[in-house]
């Protein structure tokens, strides 16, 4: 897929990929742009080692779809971390998205409170904050906090765009334990950074927003999960002059590994490791580290710990080398 000015009619919907991809598209000579995605296998892989209750899997899948689309939309070279921290039964959702749209995610929740929770975003997350962190490969880290508001996670992210980016943005998200799907459209500024409230671009954005409204209800969101991202684009925009700019894969990838876990442990020092080895918690005579993101378990016995401490004392940790 290239960025050329192919006539919109030239999109052959049947030859587009049908898997875990995201699509970047535009209308109105690029003044309204969007991202659409639907993840199935890669989403199932991301949560297979976790026992997420359906409500948690749904929220986390929506957060993943939202975060991946934000990376594609903002064209970030680096890492984006989207976090929802609240006082509700689901008190933490974290999604990290790196280069090539590789993501990992985790959630924390309270089973007892969740069992008695009502429906809707506020009942599940409670009052809290959306924290967006961007770590560019070059340049300073950027962080933005906005209150979690709205009837859905999509609306909460729209609130972020309104407050922090000040670009009219619509976002619809839908997920369960099988599929995570989303669509984002945004009105781009004219020369000088002005976003016109009237005129052809504003009308174009309003028109696209009305089409997105057909997805907002329960029926529309179920449809988003049941058809491919290409089919969804076709269903919504087949009468519009849509241009497809990019189709790229999205994958689940956790950066944890035995080596980095070992380095972290060595950094704790002998005293702390000896105490953990001797403690009653976890497997006897072992230190077990569990990755919250991918569910991997790393075990270190006494011999492993001695090796970690020996190699750590020979090789200084990376942070002190420069
Ligand atoms: Zn991991």
Query: 96 C-alpha to center of ligand 1: Å?
Result: 12
Q: Is residue 28 over pLDDT 90?
A: no
Q: Which pLDDT does position 291 carry in this prediction?
A: 92
- Residues 87-107, mean pLDDT to the nearest whole number: 95
Query: 197 C-alpha to center of ligand 1: Å?
Result: 45
What are the tokens at 264? 């972290």
CA dihedral 67, 73, 76, 79 (to 10 degrees): 0
**Are the CB atoms for 187 and 31 separated by under 8 Å?**
yes
What are the tokens at 142? 């950027």
List phi, psi (to 5°) of 126. 70, -170
What is the assigned CATH class of domain 17-252?
alpha beta
258-314, what's its fold? CBS domain Like (3.90.1280)
Residues 290-300 have pLDDT tens digits of 999 998 999 99
Query: 129 C-alpha to center of ligand 1: Å?
Result: 25
Nearest to 133 by CA among 185, 187, 95, 180: 95
**Which protein residues have a CB closer than 5 Å to ligand 1 (ion)?**
254, 256, 291, 293-294, 296
List phi, psi (to 5°) of 94. -130, 130
Residues 164-221 have pLDDT tens digits of 888 899 999 999 999 999 999 999 988 787 888 888 889 999 999 999 999 998 999 9
Query: 52 C-alpha to center of ligand 1: Å?
Result: 16
List phi, psi (to 5°) of 280. -80, -20
Q: Which pLDDT does position 316 carry in this prediction?
A: 54
Query: 291 C-alpha to center of ligand 1: Å?
Result: 5
Nearest to 75 by CA among 35, 16, 17: 35
- Residues 89-118, mean pLDDT to the nearest whole number: 95
CB atoms within 10 A of CB 173: 27
Residues 140-152 have pLDDT tens digits of 999 999 999 999 9
The domain ranges of the chain are 17-252, 258-314
> Which range, 56-65, 93-102, 139-148, 234-243, is most confident?
56-65
Beta strands in the chain (DSSP E): 21-27, 32-39, 78-86, 90-97, 102-109, 128-136, 142-147, 169-175, 180-187, 243-249, 251-252, 286-290, 297-301
Query: 261 C-alpha to center of ligand 1: Å?
Result: 10
Query: 254 C-alpha to center of ligand 1: Å?
Result: 5
**Are the CB atoms for 49 and 294 separated by under 8 Å?**
yes
Query: 105 C-alpha to center of ligand 1: Å?
Result: 9
């Amino acid at each position: 897929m290239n960025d050329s000015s192919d006539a919109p009619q030239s999109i052959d919907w049947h030859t587009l990929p049908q898997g875990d991809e995201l699509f970047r598209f535009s209308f109105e000579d690029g003044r309204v742009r969007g991202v659409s995605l639907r993840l199935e296998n890669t989403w199932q892989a991301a949560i297979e080692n976790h026992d997420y209750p359906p409500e948690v899997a749904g929220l986390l899948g929506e957060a993943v779809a939202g975060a991946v689309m934000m990376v594609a939309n903002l064209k970030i070279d680096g890492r984006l971390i989207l976090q929802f921290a609240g006082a509700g039964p689901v008190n933490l959702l974290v999604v990290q998205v790196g280069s090539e749209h590789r993501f990992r995610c985790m959630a924390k929740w309270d089973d007892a409170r969740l069992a008695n929770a009502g429906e809707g975003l506020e009942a599940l997350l409670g009052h809290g904050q959306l924290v967006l962190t961007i770590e560019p490969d070059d340049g300073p880290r950027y962080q933005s906090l906005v209150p979690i508001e709205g009837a859905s996670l999509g609306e909460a992210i729209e609130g972020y765009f309104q407050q922090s980016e000040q670009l009219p943005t619509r976002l619809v998200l839908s997920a369960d334990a099988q599929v995570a799907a989303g669509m984002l459209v945004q009105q781009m500024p004219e020369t000088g950074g002005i976003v016109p409230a009237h005129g052809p671009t504003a009308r174009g954005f309003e028109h696209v927003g009305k089409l997105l409204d057909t997805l907002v209800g329960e029926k529309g969101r179920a449809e988003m999960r049941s058809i491919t991202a290409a089919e969804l684009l076709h269903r919504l925009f087949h009468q519009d002059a849509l241009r497809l700019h990019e189709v790229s894969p999205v994958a689940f990838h956790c950066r944890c590994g035995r080596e980095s876990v070992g380095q972290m442990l060595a950094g704790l020092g002998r005293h702390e490791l000896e105490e953990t080895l001797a403690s009653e918690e976890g497997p006897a005579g072992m230190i077990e580290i569990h990755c919250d993101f991918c569910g991997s378990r790393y075990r270190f016995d006494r011999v492993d710990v001695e090796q970690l401490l020996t190699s750590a004392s020979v090789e200084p940790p990376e942070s002190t080398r420069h």
